[in-house]
Structure 1
Amino acid sequence: MMTNIQDIFRYILFISCLWVALPTAAQKKVKQKPVQLLKAAPIFGDNMVLQRGKKIPIWGKGVPGQPVSIQIGNRSWKSRADKQSGIWYIELDSLPVGSNYSLMITQPQQDALLFKNVAVGEVWLCSGQSNMEWPVRLSNNADAEAAAADFPLIRHVKVMRRASLVLEDSLAVGKWEAATPQTVPHFSAVAYFFARHLYDSLKVPIGLINSSWGGTQVESWTSRTSLATLPDIASELARVPAVGNALADSVIQRNPNRYPSILYNAMIYPLKRYALRGVIWYQGETNAVRAVQYARTFPLLIKDWRKQWGEELPFLFVQLANWKAAGGNSQNGGSEWAELREAQQAALQLPQTAMVVTIDIGDSEDIHPRNKQDVGKRLALQALHLVYKRNIASAHPVFAEKVMEDETLILYFKNTYGKLAVKNDRYGYVRGFELAGKDGIFYPAQARIVGNDRIIVSCAQVGRPEYVRYAWADDPADANVYNAIGLPLAPFRTDNLPEKTADKRFKVE
């Protein structure tokens, strides 16, 4: 009997404990941590650089309809996430130049986002194809350059390669990294050397957003809306596959030139709110086969990007270096690369643009010259003068006008900064010029520098010269005229004879 009573007591105690435990478990379930919805756009992170002297947009996603706050030191800004999408956007006031800022983003019932070691300085978007993507580790004196890389205020972030048939709100991006011996080897070499020269002069943080992809065409980097304004390209847009075509999506990741706009959609459009100082651009090799059309598509890209950012961003670009390519020149069926260089130079008609000439620092045997130091330095010179208003000599000498005198041409040049000079010839001969008569047949010409800004050109085979060309070849390695600050004369021609690429047009592959 006693045993039965004890068993009954134990059973009642067990049931009582069970009933007490059930509300506790339910209560624990209610108190579970909410799903973390608060996120910033992927471009924001530790070590990032924000643009000085401008409003600073910050954006992301969070709990729909809930307030969002950003705090830096004792300053704060507030907004509210969209009730449907949860997207939020906050525009910070201009911040003083500095480093080691902490930026905190908060939303009720969400873990705060904290970005550390944030700097405020100058931010440049660095884009193009392989010569912009080319890393420091494959450039001249790579080991020494890496060992000397102690620039905690130069920061670099790489946008990952991605193509898309539709406009993307987000992007794949690496981490912002300060320049150290360990990180610099994989920085864009052109961008890093550009930033290093800027930092030497400005002494402020420099941020580099590297959004580049080797072997890519200008049409892939331009929005569909802008391309549709060019009739010869608009007709091709109908051949772009419909959104959601899985096969097409897999193809474009392997071939970023398959369709227009696909790199703009995935690698530029998601950045369009990020506050920038300007753009540096190194691209054109892939477009050389349709160079004449590039004279329209390249300025279109510049205007397109400026429209997306809502301001006239300074746009600095690199003219193609010398490379043997197909061996094209005036005597060999024409030069696609010379025509592309001419198309690039035509973009200087747009305001707030500058070009650097590199026909003297290329590699005849390699489309990827290792001397990226001089490319970066020349870009920085242009930036310091055009953007930062430094009173310095920065421009390349360019052709101004010609005057006929007997059987010779007298050529005048701008941006000499003193006397024109000859390099790389032990006898001081001026090389790279050619003349043609009305028949349009060009012959190598003799040339000599007279005074500070004139070159006299003549040719025994051309009794009365009509046209002159300089460095008009894929690989004008013998061209050797420089201004007084050591910058090479830009290639040019005075004729309007038919171009080799005149009938070449963009086609959807």
Structure 2
Amino acid sequence: MTAFPLRRAAGLLPLFASLLCAEAKLPALFTDHMVVQRHRPVHVWGTATPGEEVSATFRGATVSGRANSLGQWSILLPPGEAGGPLDLTVKASNTITLRDVLVGDVWVASGQSNMEFATRDAVDAAKEISAANYPNIRLFRVENNVATHPLDDVTAEPWARVSPQSVAGFSAVAYFFGRHLSEKQRVPIGLIESNWGGTPAEAWTSLRALSSDASLMPVFSEWAKMNDGAIATRLRRDQQLAEWQKSVDQAKADGRKAPDRPWAPNEHDCWSPAGLYNAMIAPLTPFPIRGAIWYQGESNAGVERVSTYSRLFQTMIQDWRQAWGEDFPFLFVQLANYTTGSNSRWPELRDAQRQTLALRNTAMATAIDIGDPRDIHPKNKQDVGLRLGLAARAIAYGEPIEYSGPMYRQAVVEGQALRLYFDHTGTGLAIHGGTLKGFELAGADHKYVPADARIDGNTVVLTSPAIANPASARYAWKDNPETSLYNKEGLPATPFQTAQ
């Protein structure tokens, strides 16, 4: 037998020693200023020397555990009420003490660019940022990453108190949502931002969930098409970026503002099925949370993907809940009004989002009246955060408030008229803009024409001289529609189509 070279063995000794005598380490989520979820066991986990005893102390309680053969350990501390600041201490061969830990409600904010949209770019940004002094709201931002398998940790900056410095680059929707909850619930709020602009829902869903449903196989078919053309796509992208760099250099030379970097789908493989779930969601799932907010859909609104979105989105929500082990509230934003290209299907995508309300413990913030027809990233994120906050107060906290605009429930033919019934009428239906607009009526041929609409109690009655026998109706069924129907609480009706 050949002897193991002494020099090689000596070189490996430090590695063996580091494995056998590793200090206890915590995931990136555990830092000073963090928020842990009230009324849930406080889960603390990490790595240490295999077989080493590890203890955690919080709120006067100490619980011990032992690292397994792979060096992994996990400890559950008793649940408690909101409060703090407190210390959380972990002891093994070393001691880690986290300071200024609060107990409150933790929310995950995810999706694509409209959730990623920073506070510094919102309406009245300077005013909002200068007033951002909320030490009981804490922020944690996950950095973009893709993985082929579920990771055990994220890359992120430490938790930070809300201040003008910390909030400027943080999600505007998440911040305004958290601020509203903090003011109304009077408990510490932790916001975990984990999003990536221009990404589809399948990237945020686990492979286990995607592959268990045959109706979602088109997800993999579309991914295969993207891979088949990857070389040509990369070459075109290289040319595009080279031209962009020339424009940047010329703008600098002329003293002009440089053009924005052109967007392209799937840079860094961020459209890969489960790629973002693996890297940016899975590592968070051992950490108890109060719920999730979501703003996404633009990247699934093309003709290739829109037909599967209802099933996909519901699958993703159920997937996250299974991973966290809890049926937590999931609140999402319906796509805002925006003038799209001919290849987009925004009305169908919005309706798929509406259908997702069939899942319990969900709510939708309608944004059909606060978008920007010329900008896919509307700057009014205050109202988006507010509407999500209203939904949270009703769904997560049980407050008896109206949190949604009128939601289509039923249509009944009455001679030559069609009467529409709604849920979430609040204290009554209302018209914004003087007259009811945006309603269309169709017969059995589903050829829609503009309808005359009037409010009758908590219903809307539609007629048209061109439709003798009405069969179906729709409202705000355009990418950038006219809207007019609200409830008296000031919340807009959700776009809908009665025929499926």
Q: Which residue of 2 aligns with 1:153?
A: 136
The answer to whether 1:415 aligns with 2:424 is yes
Contact 1:327–1:475 under 8 Å retained in 2: no
Residue correspondence of structure 1 range 267-282 to structure 2 within 5 A: 267-282=280-295
Post-superposition offset of 1:460: 2.3
The answer to whether 1:437 aligns with 2:446 is no
Contact 2:200–2:271 under 8 Å retained in 1: no
Distance 1:101 1:193 in 2: 26
Q: Which residue of 2 aligns with 1:19?
A: none
Post-superposition offset of 1:174: 1.4
Q: Which residue of 2 aligns with 1:209?
A: 192
Match of 2:315 among 271, 294, 300: 300
Contact 2:216–2:312 under 8 Å retained in 1: no
Contact 2:23–2:92 under 8 Å retained in 1: no
Distance 1:315 1:194 in 2: 14
> What secondary structure is seen at the aligned counterpart in 2 of 1:60?
strand
Q: Which residue of 2 aligns with 1:64?
A: 50
> What secondary structure is seen at the aligned counterpart in 2 of 1:186?
coil
Q: Which residue of 2 aligns with 1:393?
A: 402
- Could you report, residue by residue, the CA deviation over 1:105-162 in whole angstroms, capped at 9, with x for unpaired residues? 1103x2x111111100000011100111111001110000011111000011001000
Post-superposition offset of 1:415: 1.3
Match of 2:33 among 31, 34, 47: 47
> What secondary structure is seen at the aligned counterpart in 2 of 1:137?
helix
Q: Which residue of 2 aligns with 1:81?
A: 67
- Could you report, residue by residue, the CA deviation over 1:381-402 in whole angstroms, capped at 9, with x for unpaired residues? 1111111111212122111222
> What secondary structure is seen at the aligned counterpart in 2 of 1:485?
coil
Contact 1:256–1:263 under 8 Å retained in 2: no
Residue correspondence of structure 1 range 158-173 to structure 2 within 5 A: 158-173=141-156
Counterparts in 2 of 1:237 and 1:400: CA distance versus 1, 3 Å: closer
Aligned residues: 443
Post-superposition offset of 1:240: 8.1
Distance 1:240 1:339 in 2: 21
Counterparts in 2 of 1:253 and 1:235: CA distance versus 1, 3 Å: closer
Contact 1:69–1:105 under 8 Å retained in 2: yes
Distance 1:253 1:292 in 2: 20
Q: Which residue of 2 aligns with 1:468?
A: 473
> What secondary structure is seen at the aligned counterpart in 2 of 1:39?
coil
Q: Which residue of 2 aligns with 1:319?
A: 334
Distance 1:256 1:114 in 2: 38
Post-superposition offset of 1:483: 0.4
Counterparts in 2 of 1:450 and 1:269: CA distance versus 1, 3 Å: same
Post-superposition offset of 1:418: 2.0
- Sequence identity percentage: 42
User: TM-score, normalized by length of structure 1?
Assistant: 0.83
- Could you report, residue by residue, the CA deviation over 1:282-332 in whole angstroms, capped at 9, with x for unpaired residues? 11110011222101100000110111111111111111111111268xxxx
Post-superposition offset of 1:187: 1.5
Residue correspondence of structure 1 range 183-202 to structure 2 within 5 A: 183-202=166-185
Counterparts in 2 of 1:238 and 1:80: CA distance versus 1, 3 Å: farther
Distance 1:40 1:91 in 2: 14
* Letter of the structure 2 residue corresponding to residue 354 of structure 1: A
Q: Which residue of 1 aligns with 2:208?
A: 225
Counterparts in 2 of 1:137 and 1:57: CA distance versus 1, 3 Å: same
Counterparts in 2 of 1:255 and 1:473: CA distance versus 1, 3 Å: farther
Match of 1:405 among 414, 431, 435: 414
Counterparts in 2 of 1:403 and 1:258: CA distance versus 1, 3 Å: closer
- Could you report, residue by residue, the CA deviation over 1:374-427 in whole angstroms, capped at 9, with x for unpaired residues? 11111111111111111212122111222222322222222111221111x2xx
- Unpaired runs of at least 5, structure 1: 1-31, 242-246, 329-334, 497-509
Contact 2:105–2:189 under 8 Å retained in 1: yes
Match of 1:143 among 123, 126, 129: 126
Post-superposition offset of 1:35: 6.3
Distance 1:433 1:184 in 2: 41
Q: Which residue of 2 aligns with 1:4?
A: none
Distance 1:258 1:315 in 2: 22
> What secondary structure is seen at the aligned counterpart in 2 of 1:40?
coil
* Letter of the structure 2 residue corresponding to residue 470 of structure 1: Y
Contact 1:408–1:456 under 8 Å retained in 2: yes
The answer to whether 1:491 aligns with 2:495 is yes
Distance 2:447 2:280 in 1: 45
Q: Which residue of 2 aligns with 1:378?
A: 387
Q: Which residue of 1 aligns with 2:75?
A: 90
> What secondary structure is seen at the aligned counterpart in 1 of 2:346?
helix
Pick the structure with greater CA Rg.
1
* Letter of the structure 2 residue corresponding to residue 275 of structure 1: P
> What secondary structure is seen at the aligned counterpart in 1 of 2:301?
helix
Q: Which residue of 2 aligns with 1:340?
A: 349
The answer to whether 1:284 aligns with 2:270 is no
> What secondary structure is seen at the aligned counterpart in 2 of 1:96?
coil
- Could you report, residue by residue, the CA deviation over 1:245-296 in whole angstroms, capped at 9, with x for unpaired residues? xx99xx9983444420000110011111001011111111100112221011
Distance 2:449 2:29 in 1: 54
- Could you report, residue by residue, the CA deviation over 1:154-206 in whole angstroms, capped at 9, with x for unpaired residues? 01100100001112112111121111112111111111111111011111000
Counterparts in 2 of 1:233 and 1:437: CA distance versus 1, 3 Å: closer
Post-superposition offset of 1:236: 6.5
Contact 2:146–2:270 under 8 Å retained in 1: no
- Unpaired runs of at least 5, structure 2: 1-17, 225-229, 235-264
Residue correspondence of structure 1 range 175-190 to structure 2 within 5 A: 175-190=158-173
